[in-house]
């Protein structure tokens, strides 16, 4: 299951995407508040289930008043010479920042696919480092038809630990998100991590040391999604 298809299914089930965007854009449209906020609103087309080139995302973000965009590691890696510095200068001129990069390793599929992605990760992390990025994130699917909870837990712990170690060599932290809607974690045979306590257990098993932070969000009805930033060392 791809990130884009999963994310689109998730947003369709919860309506979170449509509900959240107006508030994000309106807050981004108040320049006087930008210096007071540590967080900034980015346009993440992939997480909304849409396919856009990096250039298209930049243009849309600028047009609609966002403060940043998702980085595209492959696009950044394709830039030669002074291409990356010029890209960063262009973003600065547009008053846009880069958000956290998505983890470019498919850790949910078979061993061959995972190992292939892990082999490419050092080069990608080096590109992100040159772009000044220190945050990489991914999300954990809350169910599986093939793996039991314990099998899935062990596989996630091993694979995420391997990814976190590579990122740490380039000064980057790995953030994890769990998905809480009941309709999602009951959609397949075996439920998996979908609560904060379970996520903490996964992180503790995956990393020798960590710093965890929780997003401060209003109380939501049961079944809505919550996102927490956790950092592996």
Q: Taking residues 100-109, report their average pLDDT.
A: 92
pLDDT for 48 equals: 86
pLDDT for 32 equals: 52
Q: Where are the domains of the chain?
A: 1-99, 102-233
pLDDT for 80 equals: 84
User: pLDDT at residue 17 above 90?
Assistant: no
User: pLDDT at residue 15 above 70?
Assistant: no
Q: 82 or 36: whose pLDDT is higher?
A: 82
Q: Which residue do the tokens 């990814």 mark?
A: 163
Helix, strand, coil content of the chain in percent (nearest 5): 50, 15, 35
pLDDT for 158 equals: 94
CATH assignment of 102-233, given 3.40.50.720, 3.40.30.10, 2.40.30.10, 3.20.20.150? 3.20.20.150
- Residue 206 pLDDT class (50, 70, 90 cuts): confident
- Residue 77 pLDDT class (50, 70, 90 cuts): confident
When mean pLDDT is compared across 35-49, 129-143, 154-168, the lowest value belongs to 35-49
User: What's the mean pLDDT when you consider all of the chain?
Assistant: 79
The three-class DSSP label of residue 116 is helix
Closest among 70, 77, 66 to 53, alpha carbons compared: 70
pLDDT for 141 equals: 93
pLDDT tens string 152-190: 999 999 999 999 999 999 999 999 999 999 998 999 999
- Residue 123 pLDDT class (50, 70, 90 cuts): very high
User: pLDDT at residue 215 above 80?
Assistant: no
Beta strands in 147-215 (DSSP E): 173-178, 190-191, 210-213
CA separation for the pair 203, 194 (Å, rounded): 13
Percent of the chain at pLDDT above 90? 56
User: pLDDT at residue 132 above 80?
Assistant: yes
The three-class DSSP label of residue 28 is helix
| Contact predicate 99/54, CB 8 Å | no
User: pLDDT at residue 100 above 60?
Assistant: yes
pLDDT for 38 equals: 76
The three-class DSSP label of residue 89 is helix
- Residue 233 pLDDT class (50, 70, 90 cuts): very low
């Amino acid at each position: 299951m791809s990130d884009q298809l999963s994310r689109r299914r998730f947003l369709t089930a919860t309506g979170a995407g449509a509900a959240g965007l107006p508030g994000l854009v309106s807050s981004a449209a108040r320049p006087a508040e930008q210096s007071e906020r540590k967080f900034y609103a980015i346009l993440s087309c992939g997480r909304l289930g849409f396919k856009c080139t990096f250039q298209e995302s930049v243009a849309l973000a600028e047009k609609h008043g966002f403060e940043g965009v998702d980085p595209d590691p492959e696009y950044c890696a394709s830039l030669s010479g002074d291409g990356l510095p010029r890209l960063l200068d262009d973003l600065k001129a547009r008053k846009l920042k880069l958000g956290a990069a998505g983890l470019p390793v498919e850790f949910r599929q078979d061993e061959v696919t995972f190992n292939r992605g892990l082999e490419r990760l050092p080069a990608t992390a080096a590109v992100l480092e040159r772009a000044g990025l220190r945050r990489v994130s991914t999300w954990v699917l809350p169910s599986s038809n093939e793996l039991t909870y314990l099998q899935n837990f062990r596989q996630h712990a091993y694979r995420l630990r391997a990814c976190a170690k590579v990122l740490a060599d380039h000064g980057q932290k790995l953030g994890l998100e769990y998905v809480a809607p009941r309709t999602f974690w009951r959609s397949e045979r075996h439920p998996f991590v979908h609560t904060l306590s379970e996520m903490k257990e996964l992180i503790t098993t995956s990393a020798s040391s960590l710093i965890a932070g929780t997003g401060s969000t209003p109380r939501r009805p049961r079944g809505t999604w919550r996102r927490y930033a956790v950092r592996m060392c």
